[in-house]
Amino acid sequence: MPLQDTDYLSASARIRACENSLLGREKLYQMTEAADSQEIYALLAEAGVRTLFRGDEKEGRPDEEATLSSLLYSAFALIEESVPDPTFFRFLRYPYDCHNLKAAMKCHIRGTEPGDMLFSCGSLAPADAVRAAAETDFHRFPAHMAQAAQQATLAFAKSRDPRCIDQLLDIACFRDMQEAVAPDPFLSRLLQVKTDLSNIMTVLRLLRAGLPDPVAHLDGFFLPGGTLSFASLRDACAEGLSGLDDLLAVSPYFSAFAGVNLASEPLGVLDCRCDNFYMDRVRGAKMIPFGPAVPAAYLIAREFEVKNLRIILGGKQAGLSPDAIRARVRRGYA
């Protein structure tokens, strides 16, 4: 018998309590004013985030990747020990599986080791991706990704173009996620939004790349499953930036691009606006008292939190001003 929303009563209550530990905008903005990364780690410690170090804690320097990854590991662990069916939430790990498989396959082609390029948050261990790439045996991965990896192996053998690996596996990852979330309307809609925004930005990047025929490249990057059809995006792409502008004006995504010049606005700014639009939809889970949307939204919130911390730490290391860093910080769930 399929699980009902009421089966998540206890899990939702526990997750709601943990939402109080999410970093709010005020704390993130405080970090942008920090003098250096050491002060940022001190502020994280105040918020209950333990800093991990390279080597001895007294003499070593903070390990940014390990510290931030620990936030994700803890979030996944919390969800999986709280919910009645942890396997349902495996779809949240699929993007990490996809990343690992792409990296492992391309490193295998080059004859190099992926090393620190791989994430440990996937449904399979990083070593499984390395082994799968070496043995050309992908059966342990989600069905669409496994099939796409086989196709990518053959496609690369013919074209010698590693981009085919990214294209085929990205599409397959979305298909695996879409099938996994199909039982839940809220999560299905969230993934549709993510798919549409990705496709919009793909069209924009193709148009701004100055390609002689951007439409010819769209098919290889288009992610199925969104509300914006391939035909509508293809027609917009054929008409250029004005065509994309016209499509956005009558789409549900108008507010994400309102008031911007698609020809000149930095792509990083538009990526940020898309992320903010997506997070606004994720925050709709706050209105759902219980159900799978509650733990899923918490995990997405932690992912955004980690992204923001990377932006802040990276901005400090690059010598950016607090205002410049804040302009890059994404909207949070808290």
Q: Distance (Å, rounded) from C-alpha 86 to C-alpha 78? A: 10
Distances in whole angstroms, Cα of residue 119 to Cα of each of 80, 87, 112, 127: 18, 19, 17, 10
pLDDT for res 274: 98
Could you report the per-residue pLDDT of 109-145, keeping only the tens digit for each?
999 999 889 999 999 999 999 999 999 999 999 999 9
Question: Which residues is 53 bridged to in the sheet?
Answer: 62
Q: Which helix (H) or strand (E) holds 295?
A: helix 293-317
Q: Is the pLDDT of residue 3 over 80?
A: no
pLDDT for res 59: 63
Q: SS in 3 state form for 255-293?
A: HHHCCCCCCCCCHHHHHHHHHHHHHHHHHHHHHCCCCCH
- The token pair at 283 is 């925050």
Cβ atoms of 153 and 121 within 8 Å: the answer is no
pLDDT for res 57: 61
Backbone angles phi, psi at 157, to 5 degrees: -60, -30
Backbone angles phi, psi at 53, to 5 degrees: -120, 155
How many Cβ atoms sit within 10 Å of the Cβ of residue 92? 24
- The token pair at 260 is 């911007």
Q: Which amino acid is at 102?
A: K
Q: Is the pLDDT of residue 58 over 90?
A: no
pTM over the 0.75 mark: yes
Closest CA relative to residue 32, chosen from 21, 20, 43? 43
- The token pair at 325 is 């860093």
**Length of the chain in terms of residues written:** 334
Cβ atoms of 132 and 141 within 8 Å: the answer is yes
Could you report the per-residue pLDDT of 198-230, keeping only the tens digit for each?
999 999 999 999 999 999 999 999 999 999 999
Q: Is the pLDDT of residue 159 over 80?
A: yes
Q: Is the pLDDT of residue 26 over 80?
A: yes
pLDDT for res 61: 84
Q: Which letter does DSSP use for residue 62 in this model?
A: B
Q: Is the pLDDT of residue 6 over 70?
A: yes
User: pLDDT-derived band of residue 56, with 50, 70 and 90 as boundaries?
Assistant: low
Cβ atoms of 191 and 177 within 8 Å: the answer is yes
**CA 66 from centre of chain:** 18
Tell me the torsion sign for CA atoms 159, 168, 71, 132.
negative
